[in-house]
Homo-oligomer: A and B are copies of this chain.
């Protein structure tokens, strides 16, 4: 009888791709594992590309972008735009906001549960708010 046991992380990534109706190709599996293992992270496409290279995975930056966008559409990750020409992909897809340290560019999650927003405007009929992004921009105290 043949052993069919797959290691855990592999199986988990496979499962998530399947659930999202994305074929488990070599590149996608590699990127899925890179992103979806090891907790909440904020990474740029460029960083994902470098990390892939470090792990010995050959994949072009274009494919990284395309894959990240597919993952986003599938709800596996979120894109957060913080600055002109700098977007982060966030592996935390729970409802939350962001704290951005302008010096250094670090991005930190702020759970939405603890934040309360009131007084938002009404929208035209047929239109709905699909998402609310709150970004707190932090910098060194000027005083």
Contact = CB atoms under 8 A, between A and B. Distances in A.
A42 to B, nearest CB: 14
A71 B30 CA distance: 44
Q: How large is the interface on A (under 10, 10 to 19, 20 to 34, 35 or more residues)?
A: 35 or more
A126 interface: yes
A84 B78 CA distance: 12
Interface string A74-102: 00000101111101000000000001011
A110 interface: yes
Interface stretch (A4-12, A15-23, A56-64, A134-142): A134-142
A116 B114 contact: no
A127 B140 contact: yes
10 contacts: A115-B120, A116-B116, A126-B141, A127-B141, A128-B138, A128-B141, A130-B137, A130-B138, A132-B137, A133-B135
